[in-house]
Chains A and B, each alone.
Chain A
Amino acid sequence: MAKITYCEHDGVEHVVDVKPGLSVMEGAVKNSIPGIDADCGGASACATCHVYVDAEWTSKTGPKTPMEVSMLEFAEGVAENSRLACQIKVTDELDGLVVRMPQSQH
């Protein structure tokens, strides 16, 4: 299990254990964490699971896929550390990961 901290935009933190193999998006949805809509269900096709990955973790969450880059083009408030949570696969190495959510999913 990897411990993942999801921070809502207003600062509320949710710390949950997520099974390796799931995506960071699925970890949020399965634990009913608000702020991640995941309209497309994990296909990197809607950008409604947009998160910011804390700086110390960006090297471990892997590169963005080309489709993810395309979808982030049209998301709101995109930054260098923006990711689609459905494209980050949880591994033991990500134990302790912190992701922050934008004001709203768009």
Chain B
Amino acid sequence: MSDGAIDLRAEARAKAYAMPLEDINLADPELWRADTVWPYLERLRKEDPVHLHPAHHHPDGAFWSITKYADIMAVDINHEVFSSEPSITIFDPKEDFTLPMFIAMDPPKHDVQRKTVSPIVSPANLHLMEPLIRSRITKTLDELPIGEPFDWVDRVSIELTTQMLATLFDFPWDERRKLTRWSDIATAGPESGLFVTEDYETERRTELFGCVDYFTRLWNERVNAPPKGDLISMLAHGEATRNMDRMEYLGNLLLLIIGGNDTTRNTMTGSILAMNQNPDQLRKLHENPSLIPSMVSETIRWQTPLSNMRRTATQDFELGGKLIRKGDKVLIWYASGNRDEEAIENPEAYIIDRERPRNHLSFGFGIHRCVGNRLAELQLRILWEEILPRFPEILVLEDPQRVPSVLIRGYSSMPVMIPARS
């Protein structure tokens, strides 16, 4: 981007290597908002790939940071030692506000709940949805202004992923932006700017109770009707999910809302940004559109829309020469593993035709691997199949605003302009 961005990166790099190792705090949202986290991750990979952060680095206490690809994989696939309960984020569940969801459950309960919803993203169902997804994408792209600035995040990324989510839930169409709001609120911290009072936790809960009340009306409608193919109907009729209580319903809703919204949304925005920073790759794609699937995988690696997942050790376990103790909190940093030069050649570069573009950590591995990964890839593929013949270029006008989140690698806005149609 601009020279200013380069200065910032150089400054972050100098700072990351100058400070004592034990002062590096990956749980500082500012590092993620400013996108200056990379040299810190690089240093940890080199000097202390299984690293223990002291308790004062996070309100919920000490945690391990696992930053190398192979170690992340080892933790992710070992679900017996590294449990997804009680939480898959750095935050511990609040005693008076616990939201059970299958991503944060171990077998066997995880398995049956996951299997209840997974048919919605089966190959057969994706095949059925493809024409609808394409028609919405073409409509959204055809309505974009030419020659004047607009916010790509709002006009395209949020709009398309919210439409997708509304379809999956069979949610009242005109109220679909409620889904975006609940998604944002669920993952937002006090520094997000989304809350009006200082008591953001009360505000959040009030809105999320509004979410579950709204969805309870939909549940009641669907449970009294014959089963159909939307997610609410599937949950309401599913053997493993029909007796969920209110909080478990809310938990699983938020999982599907965030999983089906934030991640793809931010990767859509990331794809435009990556192409602006790498015009040679855009040229390559225009010359050879058959590279789109490979470009999609590379973008998902490059963006890594969820920077980490948290696990909790169920027993003492040695990893990389360090002893992780039973009960310890372990963060596996997908964003770092996806930049690990020992696993991925030239990992800093965005290369749409790299040799093994699918070998990335962004979907996680093991039994919690992203259930909607093929739907995400489908949406991104169609988006680019429709962008290429329409727009020779989409210019990013200034650096995007990133969200101050340790979990979500995302954008709140990105001003762009499309100079001309093809």
Contacts and interface: CB of A to CB of B under 8 A. Distances in A.
Contacts of B107: 70
Interface of B: 73, 76-77, 107, 111, 114-115, 118, 122-123, 356, 358-359, 363, 365-367, 369, 371, 374
A40 interface: yes
A52 B366 CA distance: 21
A76 B122 contact: yes
A71 B359 contact: no
Contacts of A71: 366-367
A69 B111 CA distance: 12
A38 B359 CA distance: 8
B83 to A, nearest CB: 15
A76 B111 contact: no
Interface of A: 37-41, 43-48, 67, 70-71, 73-74, 76, 103-104, 106
A76 B127 CA distance: 14
A46 B368 CA distance: 10
A74 B122 contact: no
Contacts of B358: 37-39, 48
Contact of A43 (B73, B114, B371): B73
29 contacts: A37-B358, A38-B358, A39-B358, A40-B365, A41-B356, A43-B73, A43-B77, A43-B365, A45-B73, A45-B77, A45-B365, A45-B366, A45-B369, A46-B363, A46-B365, A46-B369, A67-B77, A73-B111, A73-B115, A74-B111, A74-B114, A74-B115, A74-B118, A74-B367, A76-B123, A103-B123, A104-B123, A106-B123, A106-B374
B77 A41 contact: no
Contacts of A39: 358-359, 363
A45 B359 contact: no
Contacts of A103: 123
A67 B76 CA distance: 12
Closest 9 CB pairs of A and B: A45-B365, A45-B77, A39-B358, A104-B123, A41-B359, A45-B366, A40-B365, A70-B367, A37-B358
A47 B367 CA distance: 10
Contact of A44 (B77, B118, B123): B77
Contacts of A74: 111, 114-115, 118, 367, 369, 371
Given A71-B367, A76-B122, A76-B123, 4 more contacts: A46-B363, A73-B115, A74-B118, A74-B369
A38 B114 CA distance: 22
A41 B123 CA distance: 22
A85 B279 CA distance: 38
Contacts of B356: 41
Nearest to B78: A67
A74 B114 CA distance: 8
Contacts of A70: 107, 366-367
A72 to B, nearest CB: 11
Nearest to B360: A39
B367 to A, nearest CB: 5
A101 B122 CA distance: 16
Contacts of B374: 104, 106
B317 to A, nearest CB: 17
Nearest to B79: A70
Contact of A40 (B73, B114, B367, B371): B73
A16 to B, nearest CB: 19
Contacts of B366: 45, 67, 70-71
B291 to A, nearest CB: 15
Nearest to A40: B365
A45 to B, nearest CB: 4
Contacts of A44: 77
Interface centre among A47, A103, A104 (most CB of B within 10 A): A104
Nearest to B365: A45
A39 B374 CA distance: 12
Contacts of B111: 73-74
A38 B297 CA distance: 13
Nearest to B358: A39
A46 B359 CA distance: 11
A30 to B, nearest CB: 12
Contacts of A104: 123, 374
A43 B367 CA distance: 12
A44 to B, nearest CB: 7
